[in-house]
Amino acid sequence: MTEQERIDAIASHLSSILGLLGEDVTREGLRDTPQRAAKALAFLTSGYEVDADSVIKKALFAHEGSQMVVVKDIEFYSLCEHHVLPFFGKISVGYVPDGKIVGLSKIARIVNVFARRLQVQERLSAEIADRIKAATGAKGVIVLVNGEHMCMKMRGVEKQHSTTTTVHYNGVFENADLRTEFYNAIR
């Protein structure tokens, strides 16, 4: 199936869904909506097609030190896998290198690889942390995610101001002092 055939198939299903929601899909304003929405959904889930390891391995550099590296407040936009509604916020990543550091922009790209798919925030945190550790050979990685979930804000409990924080760590970040150092760095 070509990419255009895939978009056309998604658009055709979206057209049916809009009809079932009570819309007249032939009206002017909705004429191109199924195609546009299909392309948007394809983009928002394009992380499935990117190999996270090759993103990281293209930008590994030798480095003698073993002090913590922290990248703070990387924006992300994802879709919750329970409602297919957006959740979004900021991600901070800390890692302790072991002979190799990774280009800083690549950390942000790795965030996109795992955010641009259907997710839950807990797994998003874990996948970023564990993949960076595996691909860089870091001594440890910690990932803190603050997210706002539209499925909580727009429906159900309608909690407008709640945010969700998840933390995932591995390796040397089992050490609570090192986690405290990370939390101080991103505060």
Which of 10, 18, 120, 151 lies at the binding interface for Zn ion (CB under 5 A)?
A: 151
- Residues with Cβ within 8 Å of residue 82, at least 6 apart in sequence: 120, 151
Assess 68 for contact with Zn ion (CB under 5 A): no
Gap between the Cα atoms of 107 and 103, Å rounded: 7
DSSP H helices in the chain: 3-20, 33-44, 52-57, 104-115, 121-136, 150-153, 176-186
User: Per CB under 5 A, which region of 25-33, 51-59, 65-73, 144-152 contacts Zn ion?
Assistant: 144-152
Establish if 153 lies at the interface with Zn ion (CB under 5 A). Answer: no
Q: Is residue 111 near Zn ion by the rule CB under 5 A?
A: no
The verdict on whether 28 is a catalytic residue reads: no
- Provide, rounded to whole angstroms, the least separation between the CB of residue 128 and Zn ion: 19
Of the residues 80, 107, 113, 143, which one makes contact with Zn ion according to CB under 5 A: 80
Q: Is 82 a catalytic residue?
A: yes
Task: Tell the smallest beta-carbon distance from residue 149 to Zn ion (Å).
Answer: 6
To Zn ion, the closest distance from the beta carbon of 15 in angstroms equals 24
Does the footprint of Zn ion cover residue 83 (CB under 5 A)?
yes
Residue 7, classified by CB atoms within 10 Å of its CB into exposed (0-12), middle (13-18) or buried (19+), is: middle
Annotated active-site residue 83? The verdict is: yes
Q: How many residues bind Zn ion (CB under 5 A)?
A: 4
Concerning whether 119 is annotated as a catalytic residue, the answer is no
Among 82, 84, 104, 155, binds Zn ion (CB under 5 A): 82
Helix axes 33-44, 3-20, angle to 10 degrees: 120
Task: Give the pairing of strands 118-119 and 69-80.
Answer: parallel
Sheet holding 118-119, edge to edge: 118-119, 69-80, 86-96, 140-149, 164-169
Sign of CA dihedral 127, 130, 135, 136: positive
User: At its nearest, how many Å lie between Zn ion and the CB of residue 17?
Assistant: 18
Which residues carry out catalysis? 80-83, 121, 149, 151
* Footprint of Zn ion (CB under 5 A): 80, 82-83, 151
